[in-house]
Amino acid sequence: MKRLALLAATSALTLGASALHAEPLKIGIIESLSGAQTSTGRLYANAVSYAVARINEDGGFNGEPVEVIEYDNAGGAPDAATKFRQAVADGVDVIFQGASSAIAGQLTEDVRKHNLRNPGKEVMFINLGGEAMELTGDKCQFYHFRFTTTAPMRVNALVSAMKEAGDLGTKVYSINQNYSWGQDMQAAVETAAAGGDFEIVDEVLHDVNKIQDFAPFVARLKSAAPDTVFTGNWSNDLLLLMKASGDAGLDVTFATAYLDQPGNIANAGETALGHYIANNYDNAATDGEFAEAYKGSTGHYPTFVEGHTVFAVGALQQALGTLDFGGGDIDVTKIALALEDTTYETPVGPISVRKEDHQTIRPVVVSKVVKNAEYPADDTDMGFETVEVVSGETAIYPVQDSCKMVRPGE
Amino acid sequence: MEFAIISTLNGVTYGLLLFMVSAGLTLIFGMMGVLNFAHASFYMLGAYVAYAVSSIFGFWTGLLVAPIVVGLVGMAVERFLLPRVHAHGHAHELLLTFGLALIIEELIKLFFGDFPVNYQMPGELRFSAFHIFGTDYPFYRLFIGGIAVVMFSALWLLLTRTRTGIVVRAAERLPAMAEALGHNIPLVFMFVFGTGAALAGLAGAVAGAFYPTNPNMGLELGVIVFVVVVVGGLGSLKGSLVASLMIGLFSSFAVGLDWSLANLLGLFGLGDWARSVGGLLTLELSSVSATIPFALMLIILLVRPAGLMGERN
């Protein structure tokens, strides 16, 4: 009897204690933390954790530190769906994910359905790297925000910067991976042809990360004799393509989207010199303050996707700063509405959300691989030199007709 | 003509690389009946060992040490792991090696990181062998091909022309009889497995310097190597050579060909209709070039389940 009373007393105490605590904001990272895409997934997860640590240094949110929970989607959409359910069960409010458009497509649908079925317990999804056009087209929805570029933004920026630098030429070759992203790139190159005064001499779509030997593709590329090769390839597909064309002694300029993936520059060696990349952020385009701060905390300069991931969390932090739930329940819809109105100042320019489709309007940095760079890549003496920072207004493209967004309360 | 010559060159050299990796797998299966799922991991291990060694002692030392280290790992696997599941049959051996492949991959990530490492061929091998139709042909591709040819000849001579070869083949055909004649069968098997693994290690050390050395390289090549072995006939060395070359040539030629079903239908005046339908009908051969080996495997399995030159059915 005595023991029972003790138990009752303790549980009453714990209950009382928990009532004093405010509800913390929970962030879930559903990333590829094992399997083939670990290298990219890990970077996204690390950068989110870094940026959330900054929020907590500034006092957290709703009277509590912001919590981060990592979920491993093992690089596949089915696992991501399972992990999404787990995240919901854990009470996650905001989901971050970056590696793979296929997984982003799964998550945005899961989020949409969850929010339809659970009004008042909404979850929002910040997409850090899923660049497929359909995510802000057919699949566009209010609780999805894309904090990265898309194919047209990268291609338009590359075309304008390379043309100005006199490196574009008149004959362009397009080689891409045969799935949503690669097809978007190919379509973007086709669209840009008129404005860029170039002719597309040949187009190739190939299997994704299955090809070991790119020599046959280079043979085909060579016979088309282009000046510039546009490619959205990433990982092995980019590295093998560049190495094979370097080995064949081809004199072409590559216009890429993912050349800054760690390991690429070292592996490609001198072959990489003179090639272009358009991405969200590059250290060389800034005064270096953010780069040093990041290095001070993580031990390395922000590379690849880390920079723009930190900015996405930064934008969220700014949006949170305009809200006050007084320690009570967290209303994700209010956070989403606040994020729509946020213009976040990054070291390369402002980022704002376009309300019609939740694509961010953001600057695109076009750089070129040079020797003796300010921020050497992969322990080599090579690195990126900024050619032009294309402003968000210039890089942005029209809202897709297929986007029919249902806003809350409609 | 230019297209044919270049594609043949590329196809043959790539085919020889595939052979180099699949030779060890074929050897192990042919002699021991063990389907080693971790074979491509041995290939990756070879590349990483060569990378680690070569960064201190130079490329050629790496090339020498990698097969030895991987061979020793292979022997350890055969000696200490496989016997435990042998009694339960081939499925368990397959599962064990599958698990091993996952463990090796994660270990590699643990020690060398998630990103590709900077494993490069030495400067003295980085030159173009000849200039053909305005394109340089890298010497290293011929080097890979040459090593594969030497490997095939050496294995072939060893198995058919030497006393050791006779013992190994006897151990495979009639293990009890060979043992009764005084041969140490477990030792023979251990060495066969070790040799198979060492061949994969050598292939990794050679190819890793040309293709990127990253934690996914085993996964990427592993599947295609199995296709080679199945098409060639499980256990047949000659069969894998033929299958490797076929797959190399098919994938190489497919890239340059814009064939699609729509073109074929165009011969019957249905081209415009096919293009308006789109989808599968306008899919170009070049965009599925990496899928061709799998289609080939499917056809072979349907027509000749034992493979091109396989004896086991």
Shortest distance between the Cα of B247 and any Cα of chain A, in A, equals 12
Report the phi/psi class of residue A372: left, alpha or beta, with left for phi > 0 and alpha for psi in -120 to 50. Answer: left
Q: Compute the distance between CA of residue B188 and CA of residue B184 in angstroms, rounded to an integer.
A: 6
A295 touches chain B (CB under 8 A): no
Best B8, B14, B114, B137 member to test A by mutation, with max A CBs in 10 Å, is B114
> Which of A42, A248, A263 has the CB atom closest to B135's CB atom?
A248
Q: Compute the distance between CA of residue A112 and CA of residue A110 in angstroms, rounded to an integer.
A: 5
Q: Compute the distance between CA of residue A226 and CA of residue A155 in angstroms, rounded to an integer.
A: 17
Closest by CA to B143, choosing from B121, B119, B116, B120, is B121
Question: Is residue A278 pLDDT above 50, yes or no?
Answer: yes
Question: Comparing A18 with B28, which gets the higher pLDDT?
Answer: B28
Helix H segments across A66-150?
A: 77-89, 101-117
A11-52 residue pLDDT tens: 544 444 444 567 899 999 999 988 778 888 999 999 999 999
Shortest distance between the Cα of A214 and any Cα of chain B, in A, equals 9
Best B2, B115, B219 member to test A by mutation, with max A CBs in 10 Å, is B115
Kindly tell me the burial class for residue A146, based on how many C-beta atoms sit within 10 Å of its own C-beta (0-12, 13-18, 19 or more): buried
Best B5, B135, B221 member to test A by mutation, with max A CBs in 10 Å, is B135
Chain A residues with CB-CB distance to B252 below 8 A:
213, 215-216
**Closest-approach residue (CA) in chain B for A380:** B118
Closest by CA to A272, choosing from A245, A248, A237, is A245
Q: Compute the distance between CA of residue A121 and CA of residue A65 in angstroms, rounded to an integer.
A: 20
A192-216 residue pLDDT tens: 998 888 999 999 888 887 788 888 8
Determine how many CB atoms are found less than 10 A away from the CB of residue B33. 13
The pLDDT value given to residue A308: 95
In CATH, which superfamily holds the domain spanning A24-149+286-361?
Response regulator (3.40.50.2300)
The pLDDT value given to residue A17: 45
The pLDDT value given to residue A9: 52
Q: Compute the distance between CA of residue B106 and CA of residue B109 in angstroms, rounded to an integer.
A: 5
Chain B residues with CB-CB distance to A207 below 8 A:
287-291
Q: B237: Cβ–Cβ under 8 A, 6 or more apart, which residues?
A: B23, B26, B27, B30, B152, B155, B156, B159
The number of C-alpha atoms within 13 Å of A155 and in the hemisphere containing its C-beta is 30
The pLDDT value given to residue B279: 67
- CA angle A256–A258–A261, rounded 5-degree value: 140
Q: Is residue B238, in this structure, part of any structural domain at all?
A: no
**Closest-approach residue (CA) in chain B for A222:** B135
**Could you tell me the pLDDT band of residue A402, with boundaries at 50, 70 and 90?**
very high
**Could you tell me the pLDDT band of residue B134, with boundaries at 50, 70 and 90?**
confident
DSSP string, B106-128: HHHHHHH-SSPB-----GGG-SE
Mean pLDDT, chain B, whole residue set: 86
For A50, the token pair is 């870094």
Quick check: A32 and A103 in contact, CB under 8 A?
Answer: yes
* Residue ranges per structural domain of chain A: 24-149+286-361, 151-279+363-395
Total of domains in chain B = 1
Closest by CA to A340, choosing from A364, A316, A324, is A316
The pLDDT value given to residue B55: 87
Question: How many CB pairs (< 8 A) connect A and B?
Answer: 122
DSSP string, chain B: -HHHHHHHHHHHHHHHHHHHHHHHHHHHHHHH----TTHHHHHHHHHHHHHHHHHHH-HHHHHHHHHHHHHHHHHHIIIIIHHHHHTT-HHHHHHHHHHHHHHHHHHHHHHH-SSPB-----GGG-SEEEEETTEEEEHHHHHHHHHHHHHHHHHHHHHHHSHHHHHHHHHHH-HHHHHHTT--HHHHHHHHHHHHHHHHHHHHHHHTTTS-B-TTHHHHHHHHHHHHHHHH-TT-HHHHHHHHHHHHHHHHHHHH----HHHHHHTTT-HHHHHHH-GGGG--GGGGGGGHHHHHHHHHHHH-TT-SS----
The pLDDT value given to residue A4: 53
**Region of poorest pLDDT, from A316-325, A393-402, B258-267:** B258-267
CA torsion A8-A14-A17-A23 (nearest 10°) is -130
- DSSP-derived pairing of the beta strands A253-256 and A228-231: parallel
Average pLDDT for A389-398: 91
The pLDDT value given to residue A7: 52
Question: Is residue B310 pLDDT above 80, yes or no?
Answer: no
**Is there a contact between B290 and A240 if contact means CB atoms under 8 Å apart?**
no
**Is there a contact between A207 and B220 if contact means CB atoms under 8 Å apart?**
no
The pLDDT value given to residue B233: 86
Q: B241: Cβ–Cβ under 8 A, 6 or more apart, which residues?
A: B19, B152, B232
> Which of B215, B220, B291 has the CB atom closest to A209's CB atom?
B220
Do domains A24-149+286-361 and A151-279+363-395 share one topology? The answer is yes
A243-259 residue pLDDT tens: 888 888 888 999 999 99
Average pLDDT for A148-170: 92
Q: Compute the distance between CA of residue A155 and CA of residue A53 in angstroms, rounded to an integer.
A: 34
Quick check: A308 and A281 in contact, CB under 8 A?
Answer: yes
Of the options 3.40.50.720, 3.40.50.2020, 3.40.50.2300, 3.30.390.50, the CATH number for the domain spanning A151-279+363-395: 3.40.50.2300
For A279, the token pair is 């991405």
B47-59 residue pLDDT tens: 999 999 998 888 8
- Percent residues over pLDDT 90 in chain A: 68
Best B250, B255, B258, B287 member to test A by mutation, with max A CBs in 10 Å, is B255
Average pLDDT for B64-74: 94
Question: Is residue A86 pLDDT above 90, yes or no?
Answer: yes
Phi, psi of A85 (to 5 degrees): -60, -40
Residues present in chain B in total: 313
Question: Comparing A16 with A137, which gets the higher pLDDT?
Answer: A137
Residues present in chain A in total: 410
3-state helix, strand, coil in chain A (%, to 5): 45, 20, 35
Q: Is residue B242, in this structure, part of any structural domain at all?
A: no
Q: Compute the distance between CA of residue A6 and CA of residue A12 in angstroms, rounded to an integer.
A: 10
The number of C-alpha atoms within 13 Å of A220 and in the hemisphere containing its C-beta is 22
Q: Is residue B253, in this structure, part of any structural domain at all?
A: no
Question: Is residue A342 pLDDT above 90, yes or no?
Answer: yes
- DSSP-derived pairing of the beta strands A360-361 and A349-353: antiparallel
**Could you tell me the pLDDT band of residue A6, with boundaries at 50, 70 and 90?**
low
Helix (H) or strand (E) holding A253: strand A253-256
B182-213 residue pLDDT tens: 888 888 889 889 999 999 999 999 988 888 88
> Which of B3, B17, B220 has the CB atom closest to A236's CB atom?
B220
The pLDDT value given to residue A360: 96
Quick check: A146 and A353 in contact, CB under 8 A?
Answer: no
For A385, the token pair is 């030199």
Q: Is residue B281, in this structure, part of any structural domain at all?
A: no
Q: Is residue B179, in this structure, part of any structural domain at all?
A: yes
**Is there a contact between A239 and B212 if contact means CB atoms under 8 Å apart?**
yes
Chain A residues with CB-CB distance to B290 below 8 A:
206-207, 210-211
**Region of poorest pLDDT, from A386-400, B115-129, B273-287:** B273-287
B136-192 residue pLDDT tens: 888 888 999 999 999 889 988 988 888 888 888 888 788 888 888 888 888 888 988
Quick check: A156 and A395 in contact, CB under 8 A?
Answer: yes
Question: Is residue A141 pLDDT above 60, yes or no?
Answer: yes
Average pLDDT for A325-346: 93
**Is there a contact between B288 and A215 if contact means CB atoms under 8 Å apart?**
no
**Closest-approach residue (CA) in chain B for A208:** B290
> Which of A206, A219, A261 has the CB atom closest to B289's CB atom?
A206
Mean pLDDT, chain A, whole residue set: 89
Radius of gyration of the CA atoms of chain A, in A: 23
Average pLDDT for A71-83: 92
**Is there a contact between B284 and A206 if contact means CB atoms under 8 Å apart?**
no
Chain A residues with CB-CB distance to B141 below 8 A:
215, 247
**Closest-approach residue (CA) in chain A for B248:** A213
Shortest distance between the Cα of B82 and any Cα of chain A, in A, equals 25
**Could you tell me the pLDDT band of residue B312, with boundaries at 50, 70 and 90?**
low
Kindly tell me the burial class for residue B161, based on how many C-beta atoms sit within 10 Å of its own C-beta (0-12, 13-18, 19 or more): exposed
Quick check: A253 and A162 in contact, CB under 8 A?
Answer: yes
Name the A residues in 208-267 with CB < 8 Å from any B CB: 209-213, 215-220, 222-223, 236, 239-240, 243, 247-250, 261-264, 266-267
**Region of poorest pLDDT, from A239-248, A353-362, B268-277:** B268-277
Could you identify the residue written with the tokens 């899923």? A130
Question: Is residue A307 pLDDT above 90, yes or no?
Answer: yes
Q: Compute the distance between CA of residue B63 and CA of residue B144 in angstroms, rounded to an integer.
A: 12
**Is there a contact between B118 and A267 if contact means CB atoms under 8 Å apart?**
yes
DSSP string, A145-188: EE-S--HHHHHHHHHHHHHHHT---SEEEEEEESSHHHHHHHHH
Closest by CA to B134, choosing from A240, A251, A173, is A251
B88-109 residue pLDDT tens: 888 888 899 999 998 998 899 8
**Could you tell me the pLDDT band of residue A2, with boundaries at 50, 70 and 90?**
low
Range of the domain at B183: 2-215
- Percent residues over pLDDT 70 in chain A: 95
Could you identify the residue written with the tokens 């509590």? A64
CA torsion B126-B128-B129-B133 (nearest 10°) is 160
Output the CA torsion sign for B241, B195, B213, A77. positive
Helix (H) or strand (E) holding A338: helix A332-340
Q: Compute the distance between CA of residue A275 and CA of residue B253 in angstroms, rounded to an integer.
A: 28
The pLDDT value given to residue A305: 94
Is the whole model's pTM more than 0.80, yes or no?
yes
Question: Is residue A338 pLDDT above 90, yes or no?
Answer: yes
**Is there a contact between A247 and B216 if contact means CB atoms under 8 Å apart?**
no
Shortest distance between the Cα of A193 and any Cα of chain B, in A, equals 22
